[in-house]
Amino acid sequence: MTDRQSVPAAPETADVVILGAGPAGLVLGNLLHAAGVDCVVLERATRTQVQTRSRAGFLAANTVRILDRHGLAERLHRHGREHGVCEFRSEDGRFRLDYGALGRGERHTVYPQHALVTDLLAQYLDAGGRVRFGTEALAVHGADGPRPSVTVREADGRPGSWRAGYVAGCDGRHGAARRSLPPSTVRRHHHDHGVSWLGLLAEAPPSLDAVGYAVHDRGFAGHMARTPEVTRYYLQCERGSSPDTWSEDRIWDELALRLRAREYGPLRQGRIVHRAVVDLESDVLEPLRHGALFLAGDAAALISPAAAKGANLAVLEAELLARALIDDLRHGDAEGLARYSAQCLAHIWRAQDFSQWMVQLLHAAPGPAGGSAFHDSLRRSRLASLRASRSWQDWFAEHYVGL
């Protein structure tokens, strides 16, 4: 090859290459950079796309403690709101659980994920952290060897590569880290809950001062405050349905019906500014370490949004991975890296268990006829137990906010 254009550029280097600038990648980047570890974050999207992606909103008490521990929660405390009440509505009436006063007495902080990502990014960049936006990781190579590499497509379309001591796969469920795992050593446990939600963001103030869960024979409906001006709603919908088949009138009529607005108070309506259909699925990859490649966040395990655990697990795993990498790279202690996978999997399976429990609490069992009367009666009985039993309520509160 004599053409200079076709000679690939020499690989760039970092001790830790982090794939993905979501909550997992950015918490990890902040912690490593603060400890003086040479790292870089490679992110496929632009900075604007990353900072405007609307997703989670409910942060667990433990997530806030982790962010506090590392000085990453200043804006969250200023702009987020504590939240500790949920309300269930069904054919058997309604009841409220003051979960902030039950279980371990912990509350959520409501703070939109895109605001958290914006804060984490600003702090990382202000501290001198390196991020390459518009850089798509294509594959991780040689994770079993001493010096793995990542091939990338740069923002201008040219190929490139990075050499690293370690690679952190924080690039979500469709990322390059998952794609690069050796099929012979990874196990993927996958579960399709058989249920789909139309997720909506409405430019409207919250309609109740609680998270609202409505169980209805037309399907589940949910209400979650995001900010004083924006509210998230969910409507269970047919698998495969297009979000565009739902007119705004149909959305508000259906929400009012399922949330029983006639009995319990009207909904405060506003423009629907975002809509997407989410199929409720869960999966867990085992193990989370493959040589020098570590998985964290959605890349490690996908969890149905029914229990609002995904972003919280991402932050928890990022802190564990950061500690382990710092111990290894700064102090030569590889113990934490050896424990990382098992430690995270214990948290992940507990969260999966609770999320599965929530899915079953909120939906009729899926099936051709919309579920069976047997499952429906079980669901009603479960709701009745939660309404009546203090020990059920404590258990619920501990798992709902906890991680």
User: Which stretches of the chain bind ligand RFL, using CB under 6 A?
Assistant: 19-25, 42-45, 50, 55-58, 113, 136-137, 170-172, 175-176, 199, 278, 297-298, 305, 308-312, 314
What is the DSSP-derived secondary structure letter of residue 215? -
Q: Are 207 and 265 in contact (CB under 8 A)?
A: yes
213 has catalytic annotation:
yes
Task: Report, in angstroms and rounded to the nearest whole number, the Rg of the chain calculated over CA atoms.
Answer: 22
Least spacing, CB of residue 20 vs ligand RFL, in Å: 3
User: Which residue do the tokens 């790279």 mark?
Assistant: 329
Q: Considering all CA atoms of the chain, what is the largest pairwise distance in Å, rounded to the nearest integer?
A: 79
- Active-site pick, 33, 206, 305, 340: 305
Nearby residues of 183 by Cβ (< 8 Å), 6 or more positions away? none
Least spacing, CB of residue 388 vs ligand RFL, in Å: 27
Q: Which is nearer to ligand RFL, 67 or 314 (CB)?
A: 314
User: Which residue do the tokens 């024979």 mark?
Assistant: 217
Coil, strand or helix at 238: coil
Q: Which is nearer to ligand RFL, 260 or 396 (CB)?
A: 396
305 has catalytic annotation:
yes
- Strand 187-203 vs strand 159-169: parallel, antiparallel, or unpaired? unpaired
Q: Which is nearer to ligand RFL, 29 or 336 (CB)?
A: 29
Q: Which is nearer to ligand RFL, 255 or 260 (CB)?
A: 255
The burial class, CB within 10 Å (0-12 / 13-18 / 19+), for 283 is middle
- Active-site pick, 213, 233, 234, 340: 213
Least spacing, CB of residue 136 vs ligand RFL, in Å: 5
- Nearest Cα neighbor of 271 from 182, 202, 176 is 202
Least spacing, CB of residue 335 vs ligand RFL, in Å: 25
- Active-site pick, 216, 223, 290, 309: 309
| Spacing of C-alpha 228 from chain mean position | 22
Least spacing, CB of residue 281 vs ligand RFL, in Å: 9
83 has catalytic annotation:
yes
Q: How many other β-carbons are positioned within 10 Å of the β-carbon of residue 71?
A: 10
Q: Which is nearer to ligand RFL, 198 or 324 (CB)?
A: 198
- Active-site pick, 111, 233, 234, 400: 400
What are the catalytic residues?
A: 83, 213, 305, 309, 400
